[in-house]
Amino acid sequence: MAQCVTPELQAWIVQQARAGCTPESVLQAMLKAGWQESVALDAMEHALQTYLGAAEAPAAARPYLDLSASPRAIDLGDRVVTVHVSLRRPRLAVLGGLLSDDECEALIQAAEPRLKRSRTVQISTGGEELSADRTSDGMFFRRGESPLVQRIEARISRLVHWPVENAEGLQVLRYRPGTEYKPHYDYFDPCAPGTARILERGGQRVATVLIYLNEPLRGGGTTFPDVGLEVMPQRGHAVFFAYDRPEPSTQTLHGGARVLAGEKWVATKWLREREFTA
């Protein structure tokens, strides 16, 4: 049976938000009351946008893009970013021109001498390990390491309404032909024994900004299997996706498809709940 979202329910959601309740606690209360999760999430998003305004409600809890007026472009002051695709679930947008060609090339040149085989989080200890699921080479810039990195970090912060310090350092990855990153989630598994150690440095990851620095000849798209979406790399373009809780129901399972010809270069910015400490 279809569940109907009433004005009374929306008003109740707003009351909880104004009282300081977290989105997760409101969602759990609705689930216990018998609401379907998809209906509850839609009701929460609609209520907060309608009653509080899209620019007010999400900012207090999670990074977000203000797409409430269906803009074709977002002016970030130093650059105008175009909006190509927007999804509500997962909360995802494909953006054009986040970086200029010169900025992309400068990042590649700065990163290349420091590349090493990419590692993944070791879930049992909170450390790192090599994984057959991830066969790229990568490196991290320290937050604010150079004027170029500072400019990009400040631009991302304005884009998603999230403090620069609430993010990990910018990571640059190179995928050669035959390399890939199999589908995975960016958040840390709450049930894994090493997660508590990881969260000490800034809490959970809550959103990802993935930027394409070049265009491979074939392959190398970013796939979202839960929704049947594949984003093909285009230099300077980016994919933003957010996950308001560390659960598969966010539908943020994603992967880097195998590069079939040429190289793929990407930069990734992971956003945390709190200030991230190196």
Domain segments of the chain as ranges: 7-60, 73-272
Bridging pattern class, strands 222-224 and 218-219: unpaired
Decide: pTM greater than 0.75: yes
- Residue 255 in contact with residue 222, Cβ under 8 Å? yes
Architecture of domain 73-272: Sandwich (2.60)
Strands 218-219 and 259-261: antiparallel
Q: Distance between CA 202 and CA 273 in Å, rounded?
A: 6
**Burial class of residue 201 in the structure, from the number of CB atoms within 10 Å of its CB (0-12 exposed, 13-18 middle, 19+ buried):** middle
**Rounded to an integer, what distance in angstroms lies between the CA atom of residue 35 and that of residue 48?**
18
164: nearest Cα among 149, 185, 182: 149
Bridge partners of residue 89, in order along the sequence: none
CB 92 within 8 A of CB 67: no
Amino acid at 169: G
Residue type, 274: R
Q: What is the pLDDT along the chain (278 residues), one digit of tens a residue?
A: 678 888 888 888 888 877 777 777 888 898 899 988 878 888 887 776 665 454 444 434 789 998 988 999 999 999 999 999 999 889 999 999 999 999 999 999 999 999 987 766 555 555 555 566 677 899 999 999 999 999 999 999 999 999 999 999 999 999 999 999 999 999 999 988 889 999 999 999 999 999 999 999 999 999 999 999 999 999 999 999 999 889 998 999 999 999 999 999 999 999 999 999 97
Answer left, alpha or beta for residue 98, where phi above 0 means left and psi between -120 and 50 means alpha: alpha
Q: Say whether the peptide bond before residue 90 is cis (omega within 30 degrees of 0).
A: yes
